[in-house]
Structure 1
Amino acid sequence: MRFVLPKGRLLQGSLEVLRRAGIELRPPAERRLIERVGNYEVLLARAFDVPVYVEYGIDVGISGSDVVEERGSDVLIPLELPFGKCRLSLAMPAGKVVGPEEMDGYRIATKYPKITRRFFESLNVEVDVLKLHGSIELAPKIGIADAIVDIVETGNTLRANGLVEVEKIMDVSALLLVNRIAQKTKFEEINELVFAIKEVIRNGF
């Protein structure tokens, strides 16, 4: 069975939930992309690429619901996992706060252009969406955007950059993803894995 796990904040939780479910994996050593551990192969990928890998052939992956929603990948999602909890929110400079309904013509910086557009379309508000790949909080600070849509955990990064949370767009959690073909061809293995992880969650991960 092949696994793809996200680099970054979800990696340790992913390894731990799998370990407790009886699958001991080792992430690839530096500069290696794939690690073989017994009958398993482990790939490490950018969080935003995990759903794509699973859709196109890797058996199982773990990714945030924010990424799955943004990517719109055609994968099975048998379980929500009990880590990676945070939220995707709209935020803007503390001195210039308005409600999202009043943001007509505003420029919004984000890693999540599709979710952002859908959110504002649902309010019948037209915005200009600027896609960035990192340090989103900088955009209002240097004047290239009026607001941002980004992941918020504690809110410390927002506060440090003079931003305040205006509205939560969605709750975010880690998800177990399964390739649709693998679900059929490796039915027993995958069902055993899902059941084992359910037990881990039930016993208080």
Structure 2
Amino acid sequence: MSIALPSGRLLKDSKLFLEKIGIRVKEASNRELISSENGYMFYFPRVFDVPVYVENGVDLGICGSDVVLERNNDVYVPIELPFGKCRMSIILPEEKIVPLENMEGYRIATKYPEITKNFFNEKGFNVKVLKLNGAVELAAKTRIADAIVDIVDTGNTIKANNLKEVYKMMDISAVLLVNRITQKTKFDFINDLIKKAKDYKNNIM
């Protein structure tokens, strides 16, 4: 059984969750990206790549629901997990707060171009989406964008950059991903795993 776990902020909670449902995770040593323990193979890609690995042959994965929506890979998502909670929001400079309906023609900087395009298309607004890979707050500070769409947790970063969260687009959570073929060929194992995950989630919430 192979499992893709996100390097970065979700790794610690992902490891704890798996251990609570009976899967002991061995983290990769040094700069290695693969480890093994008790018949499990663990891969440690960047979080945005986890759905790609699961779609293309890795049995299981954990990442944020935002990544699943943005990447749109063909994977089975049976359950939201009780960690990685945050939200995706529209953020504006404090001195340029406007209602959502006044954002027609805005330049929106984001790491999530597909989600952003779909959101504004559904609202019936035309915007120009600028895809960035780094700190999107800088786009608002330098005025190359009128607004940004980003993940908000504590809100401290946007406050420090004189920005304000003005509209919550969606809540985000870590989710469990299952490869479509694994879902069928290892049906009993996957069902048992999902049951354990649900029991764990119910017990702590």
Structure 2 length as normaliser, TM-score?
Answer: 0.97
1:68-83 to 2 correspondences below 5 Å:
68-83=68-83
Equivalence for 2:124: 124
Q: Structure 2 CA distance, aligned partners of 1:147 and 1:181? A: 41
Equivalence for 1:41: 41
1:188 aligns with 2:188: yes
1:134-153 to 2 correspondences below 5 Å:
134-153=134-153
1:1-205 to 2 correspondences below 5 Å:
1-204=1-204
Q: Give unpaired runs (5+ residues) of structure 1.
A: none
> Which amino acid is 1:185 matched to?
T
- Please give the per-residue CA displacement for 1:2-32, whole angstroms capped at 9, x wherever unaligned: 0001111211111001000010011212311
Larger mean Cα displacement after TM superposition, 163-172 or 23-32:
23-32
> Which amino acid is 2:77 matched to?
I
Q: Structure 2 CA distance, aligned partners of 1:100 and 1:27? A: 44
Q: Structure 1 CA distance, aligned partners of 2:50 and 2:30? A: 19
Q: Structure 1 CA distance, aligned partners of 2:77 and 2:17? A: 16
> Which amino acid is 2:147 matched to?
A
Larger mean Cα displacement after TM superposition, 189-198 or 175-184:
189-198
- How far 1:55 sits from its partner (Å)? 0.8
Report if the CA contact (8 A) 1:100-1:120 is conserved.
Answer: no
> Which amino acid is 1:166 matched to?
V
Report if the CA contact (8 A) 1:104-1:127 is conserved.
Answer: yes
Q: Secondary structure at the match of 2:5?
A: strand
> Which amino acid is 2:57 matched to?
G
- Please give the per-residue CA displacement for 1:76-116, whole angstroms capped at 9, x wherever unaligned: 11111000010000001000011221112211100000110
Q: Secondary structure at the match of 1:6?
A: coil
- Please give the per-residue CA displacement for 1:122-176, whole angstroms capped at 9, x wherever unaligned: 1211111000011111111012111100000111111001100110111000100
Aligned residues: 205
Q: Secondary structure at the match of 2:129?
A: strand
Q: Give unpaired runs (5+ residues) of structure 2.
A: none
Runs of 4+ in structure 1 over 3 Å off: none
CA-atom RMSD, angstroms?
1.0
Q: Structure 2 CA distance, aligned partners of 1:188 and 1:29? A: 32
